[in-house]
Structure 1
Amino acid sequence: MPKILKPKTTPERPFFSSGPCAKRPGWRPDALSNALVGRSHRSAEGRERLKLAVTRTHELLRLPSGYEVAIVPGSDTGAFEMAMWNLLGQRGVDVLAWDVFGRNWLRDATSELKLADLRTFEAEPGYLPDLGQVDFSRDVLFTWNGTTTGVRVPDANWIASDRDGLVMCDATSALLAEEIDFRKIDVLTYSWQKVLGGEGAHGMLILSPRALERLETHRPPWPVPKLFRLWNADGVLRDVFEGVTLNTPSMLCVEDYLDALAWATEIGGLEATIARADANAALLYDWIERTDWIAPLAVDPQTRSHTSVAMRFVEPQLAAASESVRADVMRAMVQLLEAEAAAFDIAAYRGMPAGLRIWCGATVETQDIAALLPWLDWAYAEARAVIAAQK
């Protein structure tokens, strides 16, 4: 490959991890100065802060009337598994999986809950399964945006409005970056550390009136751990939708989430966060289109993520090499970029084809994507030269 000169300007914030994601622009530790540390989350003040997080979430997302929000343990994983453990078992289930996390939910449904009436729809990395085969008289589980493959559903038009089952959506890499019709979703989960760049370990569980009705009337046939249980002998724990948590939350993390919600509101709310992700993704995909050694992992342009953009190596000589050689190039690129503080944490997810994965969500600045692009070309040329010399 021709020699490419090392760029002179690095991104101001070279943080492109797909989780935890970049903090909001301008974030500093003193944003947490009002955190209710050393106090109980059960105190009046603690409950007020938690309730505020729930209320502002509802407002920012403009959730339909009757939808409820809860802060739960275990990040998005805990939130989605909590929904599965509490709500499934009443009727048959269709599970869609084209991403590592979708396959996690499939494994839970198969190996842990051991659902008897289960249909699965899977696809290889880069593709969606046939959405037209889904039966909405059944409960349906899917991931809106596959973080590890960069493959998303293009919209919610494939979801029936007159469904009988519940539609359960892992939206942690899509929320505030994709247009989501909440009326088509009965259970939606996400985590603070994705599109808003909050701190980890806390998940968000959003339930529609139909999901709340299921929670009121259905008790699953399997044991539900206390940390997941949304009911007791007296019925549904309604106060979890008022900010009361099932275990002890970090009030530092709560304050950080409130700070991120305030930032999203200040810049213009949902439309603004989606626009920022769209602009970042457009710039990156335009570069990919002009670059002959890389391509999106997502085959159909309509299904390409606007947050976690996953890429694979396509230069003919490298594409014809073994996966281990491509992985060597990936690792060399990552090491070079981190050594120059030009980009951190952009390797493809483990188990995916060797390549790159760059987060383009709302907390990333478009100018930092622009500054990153020449570094990618430089690092690829350098890595290819090093690997070729070793061979």
Structure 2
Amino acid sequence: MRKYNFCSGPAALPEAVLRRAQEELLDWGGRGCSVMEVSHRSADFVAVAERAEQDLRDLLSIPDNYKVLFLQGGATGQFSAVPWNLLGAGSRKIDIIHSGQWARKAIAEAGRYGEVNLVASAEDRNFSYAPGPDAWQQSADAAYFHYVPNETIGGVEFNYVPEVSCPLVADMSSSILSRPVDVEKFGVIFAGAQKNIGPSGIAVAIVREDLLERALPDIPRSLHWKIAADAGSMDNTPPTFAWYLSGLVFQWLKEQGGVEAMAELSRRKSQLLYDFIDRSDFYSNPVARDSRSRMNIPFVLADARLDKQFLRESEAAGLLNLPGHRSVGGMRASLYNAVPVEAVEALVDFMADFEARNG
């Protein structure tokens, strides 16, 4: 019996995808071997890669003048790749909104290669809100503007897309494919796979073609977007199994109705949990209401001494991976695309019962 998995990443995968992969594990497409055992340059695997790219293009309506790259190193690798690839055209200034832990990591890495300007910071309220544009302090000549639309750890989500004059870079690791996106507003979108795309081990970067010529001259080959684009993301041996599984997830998403259907599902799931928390005096959510994430919902108990009991009993009830991040504590439920409504209903029922017994 599968349990309900609220892990923030690596996260739940669609059961239908796992079952198909299980069926094909030893005999993929009648070839008598696994997809992990064929050359990445074979016609069979190239077809997998090409379909995965096209399905992702269809899901996000990605224009033809954007390259879709399947890369290694996760989103953390892109913290280095972004400045390496975008700081070679003159200005070394980088505008970044400091919205939480993942913005902090991007700031630290970008600062190794350029001059970081904090456009705004939510640190004054413990990263419990997304700073609005009225608080910005932008550079006049930034090479690019970086932000994190959804902060996984703090459960903060931007309810707007920044309008800037330089290329806009978005780390969409925990929100990609959960709603429609106007890709043309962005210069670069990147995401680690292990939340809404597929298993860990692969990352996606969507890069506007004109930005491929801005790399620093001494950029490491493995981080160079243009080399990856020219090689079809196969300059070196890619993580083929993760790429294959990501492709199956894209197919599953299209079968569910695409990102429009996922947006409605995300709204329903998050509203169900937020509504329960807001009606309770036993639980609370620390995030400003207009900045609440649909993907990651942190919550705390009125009596923190009950945290360990809550986590122990919830796991026994089949509700997995609810501890908050080690840096903030409390609880966190991640409601990515593969988490069904039934999982959230089961969580709310458990929370109500726990409150009745301990409130």
User: Which bin holds the TM-score, normalised by the shorter protein?
Assistant: 0.7 to 0.9
Residue 229 of structure 1 corresponds to 224
Distance in 2 (CA, whole Å) between partners of 1:85 and 1:57 is: 25
| Aligned residues of 1:80 and 1:189 also touching (Cα < 8 A) | no
Deviations 1:38-95 (A, max 9, x none): 1121223222222221121111111133121000002222234322321135322111
Matched, 1:214 2:190: no
Cα distance, 1:379 vs structure 2: 4.2
The amino acid across from 1:200 in the alignment is S
| Aligned residues of 1:276 and 1:361 also touching (Cα < 8 A) | no
| 1:264-275 equivalent positions in 2, closer than 5 A | 264-275=253-264
Cα distance, 1:360 vs structure 2: 1.6
The amino acid across from 1:152 in the alignment is E
Distance in 1 (CA, whole Å) between partners of 2:115 and 2:78 is: 23
Matched, 1:360 2:349: no
Distance in 2 (CA, whole Å) between partners of 1:152 and 1:373 is: 22
| 1:160-309 equivalent positions in 2, closer than 5 A | 160=164, 163=165, 165-196=166-197, 198-208=198-208, 212-216=209-213, 218-220=214-216, 223-231=218-226, 236-240=227-231, 242=232, 244-299=233-288, 301-309=289-297
Cα distance, 1:237 vs structure 2: 4.8
| Aligned residues of 1:144 and 1:153 also touching (Cα < 8 A) | yes
Distance in 1 (CA, whole Å) between partners of 2:78 and 2:52 is: 16
**SS of the counterpart of 2:176?**
coil
Q: Percent identity?
A: 23
Distance in 2 (CA, whole Å) between partners of 1:29 and 1:200 is: 18
Residue 82 of structure 2 corresponds to 83
Distance 1:266 1:134, change over 3 A: farther
Residue 332 of structure 1 corresponds to 309
Distance in 2 (CA, whole Å) between partners of 1:13 and 1:261 is: 23
Cα distance, 1:105 vs structure 2: 0.2
Cα distance, 1:120 vs structure 2: 4.8
Distance 1:74 1:237, change over 3 A: closer
**TM-score, scaled to structure 1:** 0.80
Q: Out of 155, 160, 166, which is 2:160 matched to? A: 155
**TM-score, scaled to structure 2:** 0.87
Matched, 1:21 2:8: no
| Aligned residues of 1:177 and 1:278 also touching (Cα < 8 A) | no
Q: Out of 136, 140, 148, which is 2:145 matched to? A: 140
Distance in 2 (CA, whole Å) between partners of 1:205 and 1:374 is: 39
Residue 375 of structure 1 corresponds to 350
Deviations 1:359-391 (A, max 9, x none): 122211112211111212444676x69xxxxxx
Q: Which runs of 5+ in 2 are unaligned?
A: 29-33
Distance in 1 (CA, whole Å) between partners of 2:2 and 2:280 is: 24
Structure 1 vs Structure 2 CA RMSD:
2.4
The amino acid across from 2:285 in the alignment is P
The amino acid across from 1:189 in the alignment is F
Distance in 1 (CA, whole Å) between partners of 2:137 and 2:44 is: 46
Distance 1:61 1:94, change over 3 A: same
| Aligned residues of 1:12 and 1:368 also touching (Cα < 8 A) | no
Residue 6 of structure 1 corresponds to none
Cα distance, 1:288 vs structure 2: 0.9
The amino acid across from 1:60 in the alignment is L
Distance 1:237 1:338, change over 3 A: closer
Q: Which runs of 5+ in 1 are unaligned?
A: 1-10, 319-325, 386-391
**SS of the counterpart of 2:223?**
coil
Distance in 1 (CA, whole Å) between partners of 2:173 and 2:199 is: 13
Residue 323 of structure 1 corresponds to none
Give the count of matched residue pairs: 342
Matched, 1:126 2:114: no
Distance 1:149 1:117, change over 3 A: closer
Distance in 2 (CA, whole Å) between partners of 1:335 and 1:84 is: 43
Cα distance, 1:29 vs structure 2: 4.1
Distance 1:28 1:47, change over 3 A: closer
Cα distance, 1:227 vs structure 2: 2.0
Distance in 1 (CA, whole Å) between partners of 2:248 and 2:215 is: 37
Higher mean C-alpha displacement, 166-175 vs 129-138: 129-138
